[in-house]
Amino acid sequence: MKSLEGNKKVEQLLASVRKEFSAEEVIESLKEIREIARAERNPALVKICRLCYTYIEENGDFDIEWGDEEEGLDMSAMEYLLELILQSEREVNLQEIREIRDVLTEELYG
C-alpha cells in the first residue's frame, strides 16, 4: 500500500488477526482496505482483497496453501498475506500476491 491510511488499516487488521481470527472483522476490514487500494489505483490489491473476503464468506476461515514460502514461518496464511500487502511496492511481494490470487481464483471458481 502506498498511503499512510492504507498501511495503518492493514497494520490494525494484522494486529487483530494475530490475537484472534474473527471472520466478520476480517471481511469488513478487507472491504475497507479494498476501497483504499481502489483509490490508490492498485488493481492487484483490489482483486486480492475481494477474493480473500469472498473466500472467508464462503469458508469461514482463510486456511489456504499456495506454496512453501510460508512454511516454517510462525504465522497464519492471513498474517503472511497482510505482511505482503504492507510491502506490496516490492515486485517480489506483488508477484507472490498474484500467485495467491491465482490459488484463490481456482478455489472459488475453478
Return mean pLDDT, the chain: 93
Q: CA-to-CA distance for 20 and 30, rounded, in angstroms? A: 16
Alpha helices, DSSP H only, in the chain? 4-19, 23-39, 43-59, 77-86, 91-109
Whether the model pTM is above 0.95: no
Cell, residue 110? 475453478
* Amino acid 71: pLDDT: 56
Q: CA-to-CA distance for 97 and 31, rounded, in angstroms? A: 17
Work out the pLDDT band at 69, boundaries 50, 70, 90: low
